[in-house]
Structure 1
Amino acid sequence: MTPDPSRRLFLGAAASVPLALTLGTPAAHAADSAYVMSYFTETTSLGAGSDYGLHLAVSTDGLQWMPLNQNNPVVTPTDGALGLRDPFILRKQDGTFVVLATDLKGTDWSYVSQYVHVWNSTDLRTFTGYHRLKLHDMNTHCWAPEAFWDAGRGQYALIYSAVNSSGHNVIMVNYTTDFVTASAPQVFFDPGYDVIDGDMAVGVNGVNYLYFKKDQTLVGARSTSLDPGSFTAFSTGVAHGGTEAPTLVKSLTSGTWWLWGDTYTPNGVFYAWQSGDLSAGTWTALDQRTYTQPVNSKHCGITTITGTQYSNLVAKWGAPAWNRLKSYNFPDRYVRHADYVGRIDAYPFDLYTDSQWKLVPGLADGSGVSFQSVNYPTRYLRHYNYRLQLDVNDGTSTFAGDATFYRTAGLADPAWSSFRSYNNPTRYIRHSNYVLRIDPVSTATEKQDATFSVGY
């Protein structure tokens, strides 16, 4: 969430709601080999690229993400505010999925909903049973809903942020077996100060962990119980600027834990930290070279899935028809055009489509590549006096040669890419003072300037 910190709503009376018993069987998580991310999109200007439906991205390593459905929503709420924030995917005990989300469209923090959006899905390719679930009768919100299985209760705990009678946000909980009806709300975690965006890791060496946002930082609490009121804050807070929306993820291939968060702005930037021991409560920032968020993504949730589910999601929703290119030595910057000049700039920026490219067969040699602009599809990156600019293809052989490059192993890192000029074969695309040009490359710095990651 990105709440207005001056807004404080107060609790009213809460009504008890009866439970319906429909328990499932445990899911087979041992087969998981990939990850799915849920998110909504928001741009700096809150204009094009902001979409408050459910978006999905997939990853095989938990760090490099590929948005599905061309970064468009796969489903959108049809009730309440007609939009969502903070989506979360839980794989239930029977192996199917439930999607939860805040009932809020955009940034109208004055909108108050006692409901959360709910969808069911067997495979995250179709979504059924859409409804809103009412969690309380209080004069406050239900922000950033998440859920986990409480084996001792034989129920799911649905946690969310709401304001208590003292006027600050706390983490609330309702219990449910079916996400159709729920128990009366209880305070799950109230350390005496404002907390939102709770995220859980349950049963890690006998300990349960709750991470949350406190004063623009991500902080952890822990308990050997899942009982409301049993958690105690313990960790050192981490942040990169103002940071919110903590998401804990366990690597499927190592003992590493990742903690994701995004900045407290529209079109927030994701940052990630890692730890080999949740009990230590300390985190080390990951190099931004190692991870890439889906473009415009905000407040993500990450769930592990099987390799078959990964393949089926890509088959259903499709891979992007475009790429973004990240700089090796300035990994917060992406190749873009601005006033038709090729350069690298720090993400986010408007328009985000300035950084989207179709890598098409080279105009002068199909074994090479040319960079076709997504938002100016008649224009391509070409060199002119060794500087790269975005020009309309005039159909000449000179233009074709200037706009064609050979993709090679990265000069600074062979897992990345470099691009050699077709008609100036001793020169590579590089940045200099953030402007793109083609130059001979020899020094270590020049090799880094000429190395890029081709992703999304």
Structure 2
Amino acid sequence: MSAHPHLSRRGLLGMTAAVPLALTLGAGTAHAADSAYAMVYFTESTNLGDGTDYGLHLAVSPDGLNWTPLNQNNPLVTPTAGALGLRDPFLMRKQDGTFVVLATDLKGTDWGYNSQYIHVWDSADLRTFTGYRRLKLHDMTTHSWAPEAFWDAGRGLYAIIYSSVNASGHNVIMVNYTSDFVTASAPQVFFDPGYDVIDGDMAVGVNGYNYLYYKKNQTLVSARSTSLAPGSFTEYGAGVAHGGTEAPTVVRSLASGNFWLWGDTYTPNGVFYAWQSSSLASGTWAALDQRSYTQPLNSKHCGIATITTAEYDNLLAKWGAPAWNRLKSYNFPARYVRHSNYGGRIDEYPIEPYRDSQWALVPGLADSSGVSFRSVSHPTRYLRHYDYALRLDVNDGTSTFAGDATFHRTAGLADASWASFRSYNNPTRYLRHANYVLRIDPVSTATDRQDATFRVGY
């Protein structure tokens, strides 16, 4: 649950004994043909203003690390009942090959709002969402946070886990069972270690073990069991965090078989961090270099599922890639190109206002084979160099301005899979940062090449 660190405390009554269940990997079982990834999320900006939307957002990725937001990073659907907003969406492919989306019934940060329901949508292909409804999970005066679902082959039912508060006053992981996500069985306790835990995410049947990941004391920790009996899980391994971290999402790489553990900070406009492990049994994770992954802009508390190449292509065809880009620094990958007081620089994400880091890459004003950077927030202004410094100016229509605002994109000087930008009218100079400020300079050293290399993404 992407939530305030101080959680509400309400009594939970009428729980029955837990029973065994069988689960699949948190994001659903990958089909043999799956070759790409889909992510669901909601958005929050740092001031909970522009860029905040509690509808269902969708992004796709060919590698599971760098994401393309669909529909211009606008929601595809929004709840029409309950709190009229969602948090913590989860995506799973069902046994019949179609998808189901679950989400917390909560809009914004009203942590005192207690819903007995979760939001549910069906989707055949993630291009349309049908059958919107709320599913009631309990009759208790507490919340139903961060729902996820798994197929229990032994029962022939789906299991839904979520966070609620027990009679002792702390959050536990609950479970209900359903065949159709329309009605569900009575709630049972799935995991209660005796302290506050939320945001349960499962990886099941990995070399004889089943794994539960969750948030404990602002840290992502894990428990495991050789069975799937509720109450059988034992905490193990070292936790991971980057500041206050929540919303664990475990994903298996389709390319390498390694596992990624995603988490994000609980502040508005939380920053996603990712760790990697070749063995869940080891209980150890290595932080991924931020060069290797980029979260969708303003995204919070994601759910990830694997999809086919055809589904990936069809989603892009249906919803389209954004009409804007962000440029990530190669050697400061937490920083992105932005303008501030009409000066060009790189600043650490999240950036406020976030639109100052969005750019329309248009044909070069002086040479259409090149590129010019038009500001999204100030669409009459372009990045141009003046006395070798980059600044955001209004296009005055002169040939000088056009030349100053035009660059030729090349293979990245520090990494050919990234990009560098050579000045059109000063062709011995490249766009680079120095002390976080953008300028054009000759490039000769390894540091220069890194300063002049950027990832063009979203």
AA in 2 matched with 1:203: G
Contact 1:27/1:93 (<8 A) preserved: no
Q: For 1:268-417, list aligned pairs within 5 A.
A: 268-417=270-419
Which of residues 251, 254, 258 in structure 1 aligns to 2:253?
251
Summarize the Cα distance change of 1:356–1:332 in structure 2 as closer, same or farther, 3 Å threshold. same
| Alignment-derived partner of residue 23 in structure 1 | none
**Displacement, 1:254?**
1.2
AA in 2 matched with 1:70: Q
Contact 2:15/2:189 (<8 A) preserved: no
**Displacement, 1:28?**
7.4
Q: What per-residue deviation string (whole Å, max 9, x for no partner) do you get for residues 49-85 of structure 1?
A: 0000000000000001000000000010000000000
C-alpha separation in 1, matches of 2:56 and 2:266 = 20
**Displacement, 1:223?**
1.3
| Alignment-derived partner of residue 448 in structure 1 | 450
AA in 1 matched with 2:164: A
| Alignment-derived partner of residue 139 in structure 2 | 137
**Displacement, 1:152?**
1.3
| Alignment-derived partner of residue 40 in structure 1 | 42
C-alpha separation in 2, matches of 1:322 and 1:265 = 25
Q: What per-residue deviation string (whole Å, max 9, x for no partner) do you get for residues 260-318 of structure 1?
A: 00012100000000000011110000000000000000000000011111111111111
Q: Which has the higher contact order (CA 8 A, sep 6+)?
A: 2
Query: Matched residue of 2:240: which SS?
Result: coil
Query: Matched residue of 2:161: which SS?
Result: strand
Bigger drift between 7-16 and 314-323 goes to: 7-16
Structure 1 unmatched ranges of 5 or more: 17-25
C-alpha separation in 2, matches of 1:264 and 1:41 = 12
1:9 counterpart = 2:3: no
AA in 2 matched with 1:8: R
Summarize the Cα distance change of 1:298–1:240 in structure 2 as closer, same or farther, 3 Å threshold. same
| Alignment-derived partner of residue 83 in structure 1 | 85
C-alpha separation in 2, matches of 1:188 and 1:249 = 22
Contact 1:33/1:305 (<8 A) preserved: yes
Query: Matched residue of 1:399: which SS?
Result: helix
| Alignment-derived partner of residue 23 in structure 2 | none
**Displacement, 1:2?**
1.1
Which of residues 197, 200, 221 in structure 2 aligns to 1:198?
200
- Give TM-score scaled by structure 2 length: 0.96
Contact 2:4/2:267 (<8 A) preserved: no
Q: For 1:422-441, list aligned pairs within 5 A.
A: 422-441=424-443
Query: Matched residue of 1:447: which SS?
Result: helix
| Alignment-derived partner of residue 113 in structure 1 | 115
Summarize the Cα distance change of 1:27–1:412 in structure 2 as closer, same or farther, 3 Å threshold. closer
**Displacement, 1:30?**
0.5
Summarize the Cα distance change of 1:253–1:28 in structure 2 as closer, same or farther, 3 Å threshold. closer
**Displacement, 1:13?**
3.8
Contact 2:143/2:163 (<8 A) preserved: yes
Query: Matched residue of 1:311: which SS?
Result: helix
**Displacement, 1:27?**
7.8
Contact 1:14/1:137 (<8 A) preserved: no
**Displacement, 1:14?**
6.2
| Alignment-derived partner of residue 164 in structure 1 | 166
**Displacement, 1:15?**
10
| Alignment-derived partner of residue 21 in structure 1 | none
**Displacement, 1:455?**
0.4
C-alpha separation in 1, matches of 2:363 and 2:316 = 23
Query: Matched residue of 1:310: which SS?
Result: helix
**Displacement, 1:255?**
2.0
Bigger drift between 149-158 and 241-250 goes to: 149-158
- Give TM-score scaled by structure 1 length: 0.96
**Displacement, 1:375?**
1.1
Structure 2 unmatched ranges of 5 or more: 18-27
AA in 2 matched with 1:3: H
Quote the RMSD (CA, aligned, Å). 1.3
Query: Matched residue of 1:30: which SS?
Result: coil
Contact 2:366/2:399 (<8 A) preserved: yes
Q: What per-residue deviation string (whole Å, max 9, x for no partner) do you get for residues 178-210 of structure 1?
A: 101111000100011100000011111222111
**Displacement, 1:228?**
1.6
Name the % identity: 79
**Displacement, 1:99?**
0.4
Query: Matched residue of 2:238: which SS?
Result: coil
Query: Matched residue of 1:236: which SS?
Result: strand
Aligned positions, number: 447
AA in 1 matched with 2:222: G
| Alignment-derived partner of residue 71 in structure 1 | 73
Which of residues 229, 234, 237 in structure 1 aligns to 2:236?
234
